[in-house]
Each structure stands twice: as structure tokens, then as C-alpha cells.
Structure 1
Amino acid sequence: LLSSFATLTLAANCNPGLDYCGFNLLGIGNYQPQINDALEKASLDPSNKGVSTNTLFHCVGGYNGDIVVIKFCTNRCIDGGSGKSDFC
């Protein structure tokens, strides 16, 4: 039972169609590699933690919970609440 619980927690992905702040993606699971990749594709600096956490991403979904950058939030990224999209 414990090993199946661990598998479920490792497999957490974003919900397709919702928008997420970087900090919320990091709270879901190991999204840092995907965040870095998406930021590089959008010509943003993945080494800057402020950029990683305050960028708004769209959850495309799929097996890995794929994401794409919507935009960097110049003021701050705001948690929209459970089941709702985040926003700048």
C-alpha cells in the first residue's frame, strides 16, 4: 500500500487547460526541468528563481503534464485557487 501511494504522489501533474504560476507547478511535483525547458524556449532566464516562480504557464497536459509559457508576470503571479487558473 505504501509503495502505491508513493507512485501516486510522484505522478502528480498539472490539470490540462489551467494556467499555473511557476511556484504552484513546483508545489505539484518535480516541474523544475519542464519549467527550465519552457523558459528557454520562451527566451527567458531559467537560472533566475524570480523568473521561474513568477512566470505564468499553461498546462497542455499529456502523460508528463506538459507546459508552455504564457508570460512573465512583471508584478507577481497570483494563485487563482483550487481548480482555477492562476493569473498575473
Structure 2
Amino acid sequence: MVKFTATAISLLMLTMAPAALGKNCKGSLMYCGRGLLNKGNYYDQIIEALQGAGQSTDSSHVNNSMFYCKSDGNIVFQAYCQTSGCINGGADHSDYC
């Protein structure tokens, strides 16, 4: 049986933290739902944001809706890109309809 000390566990968590933080959306940018899903585990937040805005939670809305990324990494529904779908704006640029 392997025993871990509190120090070893703390060091392990510190080395893993930057990797986890790197998957968050970048504050003040707009993201397609599809892009958020590729970036990290945003599914539950997407569903919550869609429900809060009175939108459908079908796969089209999950993937083709626009979300504003707040500085804390939380997202806010902005629009559903019904006509042309949601388009990836590229690195460090907002996505758009």
C-alpha cells in the first residue's frame, strides 16, 4: 500500500492546477457551445445557461449557441445562431454567428 503525505498531495495538486486552468474560456470573449465543449467540461454550464435563458437544450442549441465568457470562467447565453450556425473566430478572437 502506498502512503501519501499531505505535502506530497499538495504538491501534486499544485502541479495539476495550471493544466486544469488552461482549459477555461478566456474572459470577455464569445464562444460557440461547440468550442466550449472542446475546451473543457462545459456541458452542464451550457445546459444551465440555456435553461436560464428559456432556450431549448437540444444538441443544435448546445453546439450553435453563443456564450459570453466572464472573467471567472462562467458563461452567459447570448444568442442562438440558427441560420448559419456558430463559427469559430480563431485563437484569441470571439466566435460569431
TM-score range, shorter-chain basis?
0.7 to 0.9
Q: Which residue of 1 aligns with 2:76?
A: 68
Report the TM-score when normalising by structure 2: 0.78
Report the TM-score when normalising by structure 1: 0.86
The offset of 1:59, in angstroms, is 0.4
The offset of 1:69, in angstroms, is 0.7
Structure 1 distance, partners of 2:93, 2:12, is 30
Equivalent residues of 1:54, 1:77 under 8 A apart? yes
Deviation per residue, 1:12-68 (Å, 9 max, x gap):
21000000000000011000010000000111112x111100000000121xx1000
- Give 1:23's aligned amino acid: R
- Give 1:78's aligned amino acid: I
Pick the structure with more strand per residue: 1
Structure 1 distance, partners of 2:79, 2:42, is 17
Over aligned residue pairs, what C-alpha RMSD do you find? 1.7
Structure 2 distance, partners of 1:9, 1:43, is 33
Equivalent residues of 1:56, 1:73 under 8 A apart? yes
Match of 1:55 among 65, 68, 74: 65
Pick the structure with more helix per residue: 2
Q: Which residue of 2 aligns with 1:45?
A: 56
Which blocks of at least 5 consecutive residues in structure 1 are unaligned?
Answer: none
How many residues end up aligned between the 2 structures? 84
- Give 1:8's aligned amino acid: P
Equivalent residues of 1:61, 1:67 under 8 A apart? no
Match of 1:19 among 18, 30, 33: 30
